[in-house]
Amino acid sequence: MINLEVPKKAGALINQAYQAAAEVFRPISRKYDRAEHTYPSELDMFAALLDGLNSSGEGGAGAAGVRRSASEKEEKGNRNGANLNVVLGTIEMCWGDVGLLLSMPRQGLGNAAISSVATDEQLERFSGMWAAMAITEPSFGSDSAAVSTTARLDGDHYVLNGEKIFVTSGERADAVVVWATLDKSKGRAAIKSFVVEKGTPGFEVVRTEHKLGIRASDTAVLRFENCRVPKENLLGSPEIDTKKGFAGVMQTFDNTRPLVAAMAIGVARAALEETKRILTEAGIEIDYDRPANSQHAAAAEFLRLEADYESAYLLTLESAWMADNRKPNSLQASMAKAKAGRSVVEIALKCVELTGAYDEESLLEKWARDAKILDIFEGTQQIQQLIVARRILGKSSAELK
């Protein structure tokens, strides 16, 4: 049975992540929002700590993925493990600054992909690498099955050709996990992910983008032109299994979508706490023992936003708990991501409205800008709702578009 109280053993991790967020992230948050494309060198001191927490199997506070071992699959009973710990740590760090978390070395979304689908040999070989994830292309956004970047086997290498956009940490990371198709005629089943290391001939960082939010994090456009990648860098099996279809590479999202939901939870909590402080200083009391309609209008609105936050928070914990307990969580991961992404945008904007914090003197202005990407990347609000509908109604992607 699921218990959505925070496990006692996660207390130390949460405290460490909170201290890092409060003492390092918050003080430099506005600095790197203004200095876009400047690497936050203050983050280097945390890299070793997070590496150690993640490699211990108990999860860290970063965005790295979680691997399920054979022994874990056989384990009996309720488990609060690495997925839940990473989610809890991510919430705390993003309470500090989501853009800075996305800038953490070796905590990229590509690391989650490697953790999810790599073989044991690949996992060891790519250990310590900072990996970005490259999926989106100029010709498509949310439809990951529309990948047109090609990978052609030539001797001991795959030759990649194509262009990727909106790649988080695409310039700074050591490598990029690139989605490409082995055979366009075979559809989704032919899409595989490849680890392409920086410096590989034919791999070019075209430019970095100027963005609305998460400005501490770099977002790049990448081009692959006859880029030769060792065939051992194809993650998982090279076989095209039309029965299994797209499940192999899509498994990555079951790990990363709860993480993005956790990022949204962290930003939403930060906005609510700051708003509560400002309202209290203005003499507006928020009373949890009285009906909302008998309180100040601002207090009633705050209570509504806080309830929305709580529901997103619980959905996020549920999706992580299910992964720890060997339960398929694709539906719950999409539900959490959809709810948290939508909620954080409304919460952040409403908090700006309630407080009038529309200038750079308040971090509420920044959080309102940071929030929107959390409703977009790793699958937009619309695609998450579509996935949820398919799962609930038992429809395939061809039946419900």
DSSP labels for 28-91?
A: HHHHHHHSTT---GGGHHHHHHHHHHHHTTS--SSS---PPPHHHHH--S----HHHHHHHHHH
What does the alpha-carbon distance between residue 73 and residue 69 come to, in Å, rounded to a whole number? 6
Residue type for position 49? L
Task: Collapse the DSSP code of 140 into the 3-class scheme (helix H, G, I; strand E, B; otherwise coil) and give the result.
Answer: strand
CA distances (Å), 161 to each of 25, 128, 178, in order? 38, 27, 11
Residue 378 annotated as catalytic: yes
Task: Determine which one of 92, 171, 318, 378 is catalytic.
Answer: 378
CB 199 within 8 A of CB 185: no
How far is CA 158 from its chain centroid? 28
Beta-carbon contacts of 302 under 8 Å, excluding residues fewer than 6 positions away, are 272, 275, 276, 279, 286, 354
What does the alpha-carbon distance between residue 185 and residue 47 come to, in Å, rounded to a whole number? 42
Q: At what angle do helices 247-281 and 363-371 cross, to 10 degrees?
A: 160
What does the alpha-carbon distance between residue 261 and residue 86 come to, in Å, rounded to a whole number? 12
What does the alpha-carbon distance between residue 154 and residue 202 come to, in Å, rounded to a whole number? 15
Q: Which residues are catalytic?
A: 378
